[in-house]
Chain A
Amino acid sequence: MTAVARVYRWEIAKLLAQKRTYLGLATVVAVPVIFVIVLTLKSGAPSGVPLGRYIRETGLAAPFVVLFFMSIWGLPLVTSLVAGDIVASETHNGTLKTILTRSRERGQVFTAKALAAITYTLTLVAVMGVVAVVAGSIAWGFHPLTSLSGTQVSAGHGLVLLLASLVVYCLPLAGIAAFGVLLSTVTRNSAASVVGALMWALLMQLLGVLPGTESIRPYLLGTQFDAWHGFLRVPVDWAPATRALWLCALYITGPLVAAYLFFLRRDVGSE
């Protein structure tokens, strides 16, 4: 295990040395900041968004509203930007042969890479949540939150609900990351993997809105992006979160196991 930990540490170091990593991080910092600044300068509330009309009541509403905006496209995009690149960039640089002729087994190298991609995903969501809470609280204070059911919850309890929401939201997002890692391993092409992972997200959304798909809808990856809404109800609706938990475990492990097996056997030739 220490071998994987050492390789994992370098995977993180490699991410920290690449511009693309900061593109995603800058996005999840900028979006909540810009969002809060615009709403403090202009009157009116974001329309068509749950909690939108309570945005000025408490800074705690900001991360939820920003998550509503970012959950479908923004975060899947920035997460696949890194996940889709994590193996393909090594192929492109020719460094895969360099690291695979050392003492670490292919399985260890892949495990470290997959962990690094998931770490990046979790970091994006965490950073976005923290920035939104801080920016929102600076603008509108740290007050009790009005839930989707219309009842008030204390600020402390609201923070716990936010944490739970972010954790549950990370599950399907990690599913996108896992799919990006699979494409990155198989296609060996960074751009194709990023776009492909986004197409996977789109396909899952599309299936969800087509007529006749009602029976499978609860099991689509796209549906799990809304599972955290249950935490905004009083009492908390646990059913979507519970389903997201076991379903996303499949959406994460499926692609990762496939990618792992592919990585173990693939030829590392000149690309």
Chain B
Amino acid sequence: MSAAAAPVETRGLVKRYGEIVAVDHVDLTVEPGDVFGYLGPNGAGKTTSLRIMLGLIRPSEGSARLFGRDPLIEGAKALAGVAGFVEAPRFYPYLSGRRNLQLLADYDDPVSRSRIEQTLELVELRERAKDKVGGYSHGMRQRLGIASALIRQPRLLLLDEPTTGLDPAGMRDMRDLVRRLAGEGITILLSSHLLSEVEELCNRVAIIRRGQIVYQGALQDLLGTAAISFQLRTPEPDRVRLILLAQPGVSDVRLENGELSFSADDDAVASATVAIGQARIPLTALVPQTPSLEELFLGMTGGESSDHDRPLAVAV
């Protein structure tokens, strides 16, 4: 294992279920220290990719490596320093929360056991730790899932829709926890269909649609690379319109109700203002209309709503 290996690196990952391609040539790279948002509508292939990374299912093609180790080849050794869950975390309903953690610690290396109590404290489950998990709420199981991951002292945390099904307070607590863990230097790969969540927590994102990655990179770049539209107000809109039409890098020039709108990147808009100034035409307003992540997302995922359970591919 090389120290420089990326926490997550998938290359050409494919998973087919019969005719259906759940994951279609996915190349993902998560760098150390990232809080990486894996964003896509339900059924787009997020969970299937995470299952492959954790060695739960075998890819039809390609490879997934965690810190340079492929779970397909190295088995559980590839999960050294890695923890997380796919879908809702599951436990033995007939055992208490604490017994479940003790069990899982014994499936780990012996070091985990000593961390159980402090981890129960961290996820605020200490008082219910003696109760059977069968009686836990969804939110409590979700927190127990985080606890079961943290007793492994991971360097990489894989979380599949950690806030799904939680009430607003539970979602806030979970996000606070994720931020706190990221602050401790744990690399986090977090799948979500909630844009606001990814916008709030993540520095890098990948957007998956029907099994394919349609964008991958820094969140800021995603917002920045998109052609930004501008609104412009001037006493002489017709003259300005002609200048804009002649500017390279300016497009979608429209004049409606005396107000101009156009799309341009930063350089093009800068030279456009110089040209307008040289023509001695006054401007009363030039307002950039930054698209929200929501708009970008809907554009990239073909307008499929992200907030409803609409299976696009097989839900696995």
Binding site for B on A (CB under 8 A): 6-7, 9-10, 13-14, 17-18, 93-95, 97-106, 109, 265, 267-270
In the complex, chain B residues whose CB is within 8 Å of the CB of A14: 92, 95
In the complex, chain A residues whose CB is within 8 Å of the CB of B56: 97, 100-101, 267-269
Residues B148 and A98 in contact, CB atoms below 8 Å apart: yes
Residues B89 and A267 in contact, CB atoms below 8 Å apart: no
- A175 to B88 alpha-carbon distance, docked (Å): 37
- A101 to B90 alpha-carbon distance, docked (Å): 12
In the complex, chain A residues whose CB is within 8 Å of the CB of B77: 103
The interface-forming segment of B104-112, B266-274, B292-300 is B104-112
Q: Is B40 an interface residue (CB 8 A)?
A: no
Return the contact of A101 from the options B54, B92, B94, B103 (Cβ within 8 A). Answer: B54
Binding site for A on B (CB under 8 A): 47, 51, 54-58, 75-77, 79-80, 83-95, 103-104, 106-109, 148, 152, 315-316
Residues A10 and B79 in contact, CB atoms below 8 Å apart: no
Closest Cβ–Cβ distance, residue A182 to chain B (whole Å): 20
Residues A105 and B76 in contact, CB atoms below 8 Å apart: yes
Number of A-B contacts (CB under 8 A): 87
Closest Cβ–Cβ distance, residue A87 to chain B (whole Å): 14
In the complex, chain A residues whose CB is within 8 Å of the CB of B106: 6-7, 9-10
- A13 to B93 alpha-carbon distance, docked (Å): 13
Residues A269 and B107 in contact, CB atoms below 8 Å apart: no
Known: A97-B90, A103-B108. 15 other contacts (CB 8 A): A17-B92, A17-B95, A93-B93, A94-B87, A95-B92, A97-B54, A97-B56, A97-B85, A98-B89, A98-B148, A99-B104, A100-B76, A103-B77, A268-B57, A270-B316
Return the contact of A268 from the options B51, B79, B88, B104 (Cβ within 8 A). Answer: B51
A-B contact pairs, 30 of them (CB 8 A): A6-B107, A10-B106, A93-B93, A94-B87, A94-B90, A95-B91, A97-B56, A98-B85, A98-B89, A98-B104, A98-B148, A99-B103, A99-B104, A100-B76, A101-B54, A101-B56, A102-B79, A102-B104, A102-B107, A102-B108, A103-B76, A103-B107, A103-B109, A103-B152, A109-B107, A267-B57, A267-B58, A268-B51, A269-B57, A270-B316
